[in-house]
Structure 1
Amino acid sequence: MQARQLPTPRGWAWLQEGFRLWWRNPALLSFLAFAYLLVLIIVSLFPFIGQPIASLLMPVLSLGVLNGCRAIDQGRKVGPDVLFSGFKSNVQSLVTVGGIYLVASLLVLVLTSLVDRGALLEAMTSGRMDEQTASSPNVLFSLLVALALSTPVMMAYWFAPLLAGWWGLTAPKAMFFSFHACLRNWRPFLAYALALMLFGALIPGLIVGVLGLISPTLATLVSVPLPLILIPVVFASFYCNARDVFDVPVNDVPKG
């Protein structure tokens, strides 16, 4: 296991390769992507304990989605139950990754309280933000601070589930090597982020907007299936950048 250092153009290719992977088995990948989101949403609805449990489960379910992508990529047949295959692979480390990510994310929100007196933290925890709060300069600045502080947290999490699940690393090691891999490939990841904004948001929004000027009904018909395609394609692109940065193992994931 060694993180490759990739050229910048590789970041542009990940979304396209994700679409190709999705096209090989759209039914399974679509199911995995939306089932992953649905499970986390349902779990998070439970009062008090829902959000923490969802955070702990997130790496386990993420590994299940990646296992499905890997099976499709390698031409193996798997069923929808692959979503829960992460529970068979180093669960302790995966849950610990989720716990560290949760604590780090909460710490970022707490630190933003120094900027906006807790407005962003209250909005995130309550799920509500009024118009006056959203337009406040302090809140806008705290959003920038949160983005800057959460970037290294996301870098440490990005590859951590597969490093813990496929190579059996402990949570601290998995998050360290994930951060190192992202830092080493910051240029292709920047290109990848731009590709996501361009092809995942700006161009689809422009197309729907133009169609809306021609026919609102046509715009609605186009806008409905777009998320059904884009969301699983983005999930598949996560696997594609992992495959590019690391050598994806062929054998079954380690047990633990």
Structure 2
Amino acid sequence: MQKLPAKTGWIWVKEGFALFRKQPAEISTLFLAYMFLMLALGILPVIGQVLPLILVPVFAMAFMQACAQIEQGQRVYPTLLMIAFRSPVLKTLLKLGLLYVLAAMIAVGASSLVDGGVFWRAMTGPGLDPTQIAGSNLQLAMIMAGVIYIPAAMTFWYAAPLIMWQNMTLGKALFYSFFAVRRAGAAFVLYGLAWSGLGVVVPMVISLIVGLLIGNATIMMFILLPISIILTVVMYCSFYPTYTHVFGKPYGSANGVTPAFGSDSDDTTR
């Protein structure tokens, strides 16, 4: 596994757009079905707050599998959301999800050292009144939580596909994920900056144009909402090339089972 140049981060973004263009309606429908399911789970009392986080690795594999099938020219259907639930590694993916929750709690909890627990209460409680937010270091606490979470994000990034597509144990997948992200650090920095820019600049430019031409807030919202959804779906699609450029393409992934790897790895990994 060789280090990837920084420009690879932009290549991942472009490949995400390329995957989206092949089946835009299908992958968008998959995403909307996922969002609807998350909203439905959120209605559940108590567990509804943590269950969507626990299921992140499970549903993440639906999008990874969808991208693999798009790449192979196969049609994507919303039922793909259930693919990891039929996998023999489901329990391991759920354990990974529990680690997601634990890591997030540690990061948000540590930020209490900065703002006295305001961010923690905002994330876990019914909400805060403006007076509590005004006198706190909430923004600094959010930044601190994000920085603390970075090592966990590196550990989790590739873990789900390594578990499902390479049959790795939980510990081994976490280990390989962390060091793979570390070796591709420059590419991930550019990748993150690119998506940060796209997420801010594109809506800002569109808002400015619509504001100048129409000046109607309702129409602006109707325009920005689908664009935001499209950008989010494309970002999900770009997760797949971050994996294939490092570990190669999954062999037989269209079967929805835990496949081994073929020899058609990307040239950047050789």
So what's the TM-score if we normalise by structure 1? 0.91
3-state secondary structure, aligned to 1:8: coil
Q: Residue in 2 aligned with 1:254?
A: 258
Ranges in structure 1 where 5+ consecutive residues have no aligned partner: none
Q: Residue in 2 aligned with 1:199?
A: 198
Q: Residue in 1 aligned with 2:74?
A: 76
Find 1:7's aligned residue among 5, 8, 11.
5
Deviation at 1:74, TM superposition (A): 1.6
Structure 2 distance, partners of 1:99, 1:251, is 28
Structure 1 distance, partners of 2:228, 2:40, is 20
Structure 2 distance, partners of 1:127, 1:12, is 39
Structure 2 distance, partners of 1:129, 1:16, is 40
Ranges in structure 2 where 5+ consecutive residues have no aligned partner: 260-270
Deviation at 1:140, TM superposition (A): 2.6
* Preserved CA contact (<8 Å) 2:108 2:119: yes
Structure 1 distance, partners of 2:73, 2:146, is 38
RMSD after superposition: 2.0
Offset from partner CA, 1:197-236 (integer Å, 9 cap, x none): 2122213312222321221356455324312321211110
Structure 2 distance, partners of 1:41, 1:230, is 20
Opposite residue 27 of structure 2, the aligned amino acid is: L
* Preserved CA contact (<8 Å) 1:209 1:219: no
Opposite residue 188 of structure 2, the aligned amino acid is: F
3-state secondary structure, aligned to 2:137: helix
Query: Which one is further off, 62-71 or 33-42?
Result: 33-42
Offset from partner CA, 1:180-203 (integer Å, 9 cap, x none): 111111111110111112122213
Q: Residue in 2 aligned with 1:170?
A: 169
* Preserved CA contact (<8 Å) 2:19 2:67: yes
3-state secondary structure, aligned to 2:74: coil
Q: Residue in 1 aligned with 2:58?
A: 60
Q: Residue in 1 aligned with 2:145?
A: 146
Distance 1:85 1:4, change over 3 A: farther
Deviation at 1:117, TM superposition (A): 1.9
Structure 2 distance, partners of 1:154, 1:130, is 31
3-state secondary structure, aligned to 1:15: helix
Q: Residue in 2 aligned with 1:156?
A: 155
Deviation at 1:68, TM superposition (A): 0.8
Query: Which one is further off, 16-25 or 213-222?
Result: 213-222
Q: Residue in 1 aligned with 2:209?
A: 210
Deviation at 1:46, TM superposition (A): 1.1
Q: Residue in 2 aligned with 1:179?
A: 178
1:54-133 alignment, distance < 5 Å: 54-89=52-87, 90-126=89-125, 128-133=127-132
Q: Residue in 1 aligned with 2:229?
A: 228
Q: How many residues align?
A: 253
Identity, in percent, stands at: 32
So what's the TM-score if we normalise by structure 2? 0.86
